[in-house]
Structure 1
Amino acid sequence: MRLVIRKDYDAVSYHVAKYVLERIKEFAPTESKPFVLGLPTGSSPIGVYRNLVKFHQAGELSFRHIITFNMDEYVGLPRDHPESYHTFMWNNLFRYIDIPPENVNILDGNAVDLDLECQLYEEKIAAVGGIELFLGGIGPDGHIAFNEPGSSLSSRTRVKTLAYETIVANARFFDNDITKVPNLALTVGVGTIIDAREVCIIITGAHKALALAKCIEEGMNHMWTVSAIQVHPRGMIVCDEDATLELHVKTVNYFKSIEKVHEQLLGAHNIATQE
């Protein structure tokens, strides 16, 4: 597992977006060999999406041969609801790029049979050859997607009851009225994410420092579901300085030294930095 430390949120966002750009260019996707990309919602990836849009507008990146799978969606919200994850993705990424609508996959929280919807989602991921790169963010309690503390580390896409703390935290998006917040969601499982050939997690802010420390310095634990990335052969966390506040100094120094050697091997010009 790699830990890449950047100065702040903007630098983290640029680094991750540049990494995605380079991975796609290296893959050289075609219609018969699309690049399959897993995507999150929330505050963590917004800066990444802005940079990906800039790359697209500059002619550096096309999404014509990219297939996306989103992590989760609320149950019961209309697709055009301002807080649905359909709306989030179209407003922050899809409307600005050239991805074919049929290549966008987001769980349907209004499906008649929610369990079947989850099963079909897993089958569709398998049918396109699996996810090449899964991006993710986390909550302060270390949850990834809606895999809250206590979720199985081998879980698959499923219906998930949201914890009361999650509902309260999300009330700010629903006029601070917890009665308006959905209490169910559809989410990919931890196992679904870890099955991707590569996983990149964005962690920024002092409020997520404890979660990062639990993930990096302690063992795998279903109470901190992001810790499952420890067993991934190509797992990477990109964090800012604030998120390292709970890490031991020797841990931070170790990963910074690894990054320094990485730069020496590849050349500083090949390492994504904030422009």
Structure 2
Amino acid sequence: MLNIIRVTSDEQFNEVGASIIASLLQTNPRANLGLATGSTPVGVYNKLVELYKEGSVSFAQAHSYNLDEYIGLPSDHPESYRRFMNDKLFNHVDINLENTHVPSGSKEHPEQAAKEYNQLLDAAGQIDLQILGLGHNGHIGFNEPATELHAATHVVELEEDTRQANARFFDHIDQVPTHAVTMGMGSILKSKQIVLLAKGESKAEILARALMGPLTTQCPASMLQTHPNVVVIVDQAAGELLK
């Protein structure tokens, strides 16, 4: 079931996203949160920090599991997703860092890191709320368009379009990693609830394909149509092609 929430401003976008997460933590303080990186959720995380400082929400008993991580970047690299989460959220709220989990991209054997992360997810049980962004080619996490999709955490070679989209965070395209470790589609779709965040005109066409087009591995986000509880938060530009 898709529940599309249309917003008219960045402030409203961030408030709606943060309120969904905060409401879950208020009713289930020990919730398992599936978190995403990228520019779209930053405002949501900023709003969550505000709510924490106001005393409206606590992360003290929560656990978090991030979708993905670049391969080849140490955890303290400025563009690693571990560093991103620490800087944007974890260091500003009361979450126990030992309860925050991001796939390892710095291990010598990435395939083993993927296996270990999958075991961690299995031990955690079901993700209560999974936050997702949407790639311009329809990827979620780093599950890229392909002839088949992986269910479990795995190593993936990044599409050139994906690397180009992320190059703005690096000094040069050559510095953008070519591979990543990502949670698989099976793990994502096992979540109790999914919140998909999409902003901007550049996401309008792929969002329409994902939500209204055919189910296809060439648009991994289309698999969200099979999930029973998906909330889609869109601004006017991203939602312009949705019925």
TM bin (shorter chain): over 0.9
* CA deviation map 1:215-251 (0-9, x unaligned): 222121212111111111111111111112223xxx2
**Matched residues in 2 for 1:159 and 1:153: separation?**
12
Aligned length: 242
Separation of aligned partners in 1, 2:148 and 2:183: 12
Q: Deviations over 1:65-119 (max 9, x none)?
A: 1000011111111211111111111110011001111101011101232212111
Q: Distance in 1 between matches of 2:163 and 2:131?
A: 23
* Alignment pair present for 1:240 and 2:235: yes
Unaligned runs of 5+ in 1: 252-275
CA contact (8 A) 1:215 1:226 kept: yes
Instruction: Give the counterpart letter for 1:24 in structure 2.
Output: L
Deviation string, structure 1 residues 23-46 (Cα, Å, up to 9, x no partner)? 22122x3xxxx2100000001100
Q: Which residue of 2 aligns with 1:231?
A: 226
Correspondence 1:154-173 to 2 at 5 A: 154-173=150-169
For 1:206 and 1:142, locate their aligned partners in 2 and report how far apart those are by CA, in whole Å: 15
Runs of 4+ in 1 over 4 A off after TM superposition: none
Residue 78 of structure 2 aligns to a residue in which SS?
coil
1:55 pairs with 51, 56, 67, which one?
51
Alignment of 1:77-96 (within 5 A): 77-96=73-92
- Would the alpha carbon gap of residues 151 and 158 (structure 1) be closer, same or farther in structure 2, given more than 3 Å must change? farther
Give the equivalent residue in structure 1 for 2:67. Answer: 71
Q: Aligned partners of 1:237, 1:158: CA distance in 2, in Å?
A: 26
Q: CA deviation at 1:10?
A: 2.4
Q: 1:190 Cα deviation (Å)?
A: 1.5
| Correspondent of 2:211 among 216, 241, 244 | 216
8 Å Cα contact 2:25/2:59 also seen in 1: no
Distance 2:232 2:119 in 1: 28
Contact preservation (8 Å) 1:8, 1:242: no
1:146 and 1:23 mapped to 2: Cα distance?
26
The answer to whether the 8 A contact 2:199-2:238 is kept is yes
**Aligned partners of 2:13 and 2:26: how far apart in 1?**
20
Instruction: Name the SS of the counterpart of 1:13 in structure 2.
Output: helix
RMSD across aligned positions (CA): 1.3
Computing the radius of gyration over CA atoms, which structure comes out larger, 1 or 2?
A: 1
Cα distance in 1 for residues equivalent to 2:190 and 2:31: 15
Q: Which residue of 2 aligns with 1:18?
A: 19
Q: 1:93 to 1:25 in 2, by over 3 A?
A: same
CA distance in 1, matches of 2:91, 2:85: 8
Q: Provide the residue aligned with 2:187 in structure 1.
A: 192
Contact 1:141/1:224 (<8 A) preserved: yes
Which residue in 2 is equivalent to 1:204? 199
The 1-side partners of 2:182 and 2:216 are apart by 19
TM-score of the aligned structures, taking structure 2 as reference length: 0.95
CA contact (8 A) 2:25 2:58 kept: no
Matched with 2:4 is: 3
User: Hey, what does 2:103 align to over in structure 1?
Assistant: 107
